[in-house]
C-alpha cells in the first residue's frame, strides 16, 4: 500500500499520522511522542502508552517512530507532509521541499527557534533515508500571507517592513482547516465575520471572512499575542529593554524567559497545562490567577479582532484547551456579553488532515 506520512514536529512533541495515498478520508494510524526533554511517552492508537528513556530528544524520538513504522513492510512510503511554522515573506503557498526551500527555511530559524530546527531535522532525516521521497512543506504563515499591510506592519519606518520586520501570524493550518469546515458546514458563517481561537500550549486568535485571514494576534514570531503555556504573549518592548539594560540579562536569556518560563507556567509557578492548573486552583491562588489572566486576554483579543471585521458573527474555539475546557469557553463568552449576539462553535483541530490533502495534491501532480 502506498502511504503518505504526516509529521508535526514541535518543541516538546512529535506527532504523526499515516494515510493511504489514494484515500485520505481518515488516517490508517496515528501516534505521538510527548514530553520530549522531560518524561517522553510514546502513544499510539490501539496500544498501551510506552514510557521512553528520559534522554530521548527530537532525533531519538524521530528514529523511534521510524523504527516502529518499518515494522509494517506492507506500507510503501511515497510522500511526506510536514507542518512548518515559519515561511517568512517568501512562501505564500505550500511548497515541495527542495534544496533551495530548505536553505531559506534555515534562515528563518531565529524567527521560530522553538519549532523551525525540529521541522528541518525531520525533513533532512527523511531525506537521508529516502533521497527521492517527495516532501511537502505546509506553512502556518501561508494562511495569513494575504493580509493587508494595515494588519501586517509595525509602526516602524517602512524600510523595516521591506526587510521582513512585520507580522506574519501563525497557526495558519488550524485556521485554514476551520475555514474549510465552515464553508461546508455553515456557509453563512463562512461568509460572515468569524473570530477563531486556537487555544493549546500555543495560543492565538484570528479574524476571518470568506475563508481569508484578516488579522491575527501572533506577530513576527510565535511569542506575540495571548499568553500561552510557556510563552509570554504580548509584552511592552520597553520591559524587554529594561530586563537587558537594568537587570543585566542577555538577549538570549530574555528570549529563553519569554519562550520557556513565561505564560501560564510563569504566572502560576505550577504548570503550563490547563488541566493541572484547574486541579490546583481551588487551593492555589497563583494557579487561579493564571487561568483568570488567560481568559481575560482571550476575551480582550477577541473584542480587538472584531474591530478589524466591524463586528463578530461567530466565535470558534479549537485546540486542546479550546475544545475541552468548557468552563474557559463559558468565561470568555461571559466577558463578551456586551457585544451584539454571536454564535459560538467548537471545531476540532485537524491540521494533519489538511497537510495530507495538500501532500496528496502535489503527489498527483507529479504522476
Cell of 227: 499568553
- Which residue shows C-alpha cell 462553535? 345
In order of 4, 164, 211, 317, the CA distances from 147 in angstroms are 31, 15, 12, 22
Domains of the chain: 2-139 (3.30.420.40), 187-346 (3.30.420.40)
Model confidence at 315: pLDDT above 80: yes
Distance CA 60, CA 68 (A): 12
* Candidate from 13-17, 82-86, 218-222 with smallest mean pLDDT: 13-17
User: What is the per-residue pLDDT across 17-49, written as a single tens digit (0 to 9) for each?
Assistant: 999 999 999 999 999 998 887 889 999 888 889
How high is the pLDDT of residue 69?
A: 85
pLDDT at 70: 83
Alpha carbon 196 to its chain centroid, in Å, reads: 13
Output the pLDDT for position 351: 94
pLDDT band at 178 (very low <50, low <70, confident <90, very high): very high
Q: Is residue 52's pLDDT more than 90?
A: yes
Return the pLDDT at 144.
98
Cα distance from N-terminal residue to C-terminal residue, the chain: 16
Catalytic residue among 140, 224, 313, 325: 140
Residues 174/143, Cβ–Cβ less than 8 Å: no
Alpha helices in the chain (DSSP H): 58-69, 99-107, 116-129, 149-152, 158-162, 172-185, 187-190, 237-245, 251-260, 263-268, 274-280, 285-309, 319-324, 326-335, 351-366
Beta bridge partners of 346: 317
Beta bridge partners of 16: 7, 31
- Spatial contact of 104 and 29, defined as CB atoms under 8 Å apart: no
Query: For 225-245, what is each residue's pLDDT tens digit?
Result: 999 999 999 999 999 999 999
More confident residue, 67 or 229: 229
Query: What confidence score (pLDDT) does residue 16 get?
Result: 94
- Evaluate whether 16 touches 126 at the Cβ level (below 8 Å): no
Distance of CA 268 to the CA centre of its chain: 23
- DSSP class of residue 111 equals G
Cell numbers that stand for 8 in this block: 508535526
Considering the chain, what is the average pLDDT of its residues?
95
Q: Is the pLDDT of residue 10 over 80?
A: no
pTM of the predicted model as reported, rounded to 2 decimal places = 0.93
For residue 13, pLDDT beyond 90: no
At residue 283, the pLDDT reads 97
Residue 133: pLDDT over 80: yes
Give Cβ neighbours of residue 328 (< 8 Å, ≥ 6 apart): 199, 274, 291, 294, 295, 298, 321, 322
pLDDT of residue 28: 94
pLDDT, residue 58, reads 83
Residue 64 has pLDDT above 80, yes or no: yes
CA atoms within 13 Å, Cβ hemisphere of 37:
8
Burial track 174-197 (b if 16+ CB lie within 10 A, e otherwise): bbbbbbbbbeeebeebbebbbbbb
Note if 341 is an active site residue.
no
Assess whether pLDDT exceeds 80 at residue 302.
Answer: yes
* Confidence grade of residue 149 (pLDDT, cut at 50, 70, 90): very high
Crossing angle (nearest 10°) for helices 116-129 and 58-69: 40
Residue 71 pLDDT level (bands cut at 50, 70, 90):
confident
Q: What is the pLDDT of residues 327-354, one digit of tens each?
A: 999 999 999 999 999 999 999 999 999 9
Amino acid at each position: 500500500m502506498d502511504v503518505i506520512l504526516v509529521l508535526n514536529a514541535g518543541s516538546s512533541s512529535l506527532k504523526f499520522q499515516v494515510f493511504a495515498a489514494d484515500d485520505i478520508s481518515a488516517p490508517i494510524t496515528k501516534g505521538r511522542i510527548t514530553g520530549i526533554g522531560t518524561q517522553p511517552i510514546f502513544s499510539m492508537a490501539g496500544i498501551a502508552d510506552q514510557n521512553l528513556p528520559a534522554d530521548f530528544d527530537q532525533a531519538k524520538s524521530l528514529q523511534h517512530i521510524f523504527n516502529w513504522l518499518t515494522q509494517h513492510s506492507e506500507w510503501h512510503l511515497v510522500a511526506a507532509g510536514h507542518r512548518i511554522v515559519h515561511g517568512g515573506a517568501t512562501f505564500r503557498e505550500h511548497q515541495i521541499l527542495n534544496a533551495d526551500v530548505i536553505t531559506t527555511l534555515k534562515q528563518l530559524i531565529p524567527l521560530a527557534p522553538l519549532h523551525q530546527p525540529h521541522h528541518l531535522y525531520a525533513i533532512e532525516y527523511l531525506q537521508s533515508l529516502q533521497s527521492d521521497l517527495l516532501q511537502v512543506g505546509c506553512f502556518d504563515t501561508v494562511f495569513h500571507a494575504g493580509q493587508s499591510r494595515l494588519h501586517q506592519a509595525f509602526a516602524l519606518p517602512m524600510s523595516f517592513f521591506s526587510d521582513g520586520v512585520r507580522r506574519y501570524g501563525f497557526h495558519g493550518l488550524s485556521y485554514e482547516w476551520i475555514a474549510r469546515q465552515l464553508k461546508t458546514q455553515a456557509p453563512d458563517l463562512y461568509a460572515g465575520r468569524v473570530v477563531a481561537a486556537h487555544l493549546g500550549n500555543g495560543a492565538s486568535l484570528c479574524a476571518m471572512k470568506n475563508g481569508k485571514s484578516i488579522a491575527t494576534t501572533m506577530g513576527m514570531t510565535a511569542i506575540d499575542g495571548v499568553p500561552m503555556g510557556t510563552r509570554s504573549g504580548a509584552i511592552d518592548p520597553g520591559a524587554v529593554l529594561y530586563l537587558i539594560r537594568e537587570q543585566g540579562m542577555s538577549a538570549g536569556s530574555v528570549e529563553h524567559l519569554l519562550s520557556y518560563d513565561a505564560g501560564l507556567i510563569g504566572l502560576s509557578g505550577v504548570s503550563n497545562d490547563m488541566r493541572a492548573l484547574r486541579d490546583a486552583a481551588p487551593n492555589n491562588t497563583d494557579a487561579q490567577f493564571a487561568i483568570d489572566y488567560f481568559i481575560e486576554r482571550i476575551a480582550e483579543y477577541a473584542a480587538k479582532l472584531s474591530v478589524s471585521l466591524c463586528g463578530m458573527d461567530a466565535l470558534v474555539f479549537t485546540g486542546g484547551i479550546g475544545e475541552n475546557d468548557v468552563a474557559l469557553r463559558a468565561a470568555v463568552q461571559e466577558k463578551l456579553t456586551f457585544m451584539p449576539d454571536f454564535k459560538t462553535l467548537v471545531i476540532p483541530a485537524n491540521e494533519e488532515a489538511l497537510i495530507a490533502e495538500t501532500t496528496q495534491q502535489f503527489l498527483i501532480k507529479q504522476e
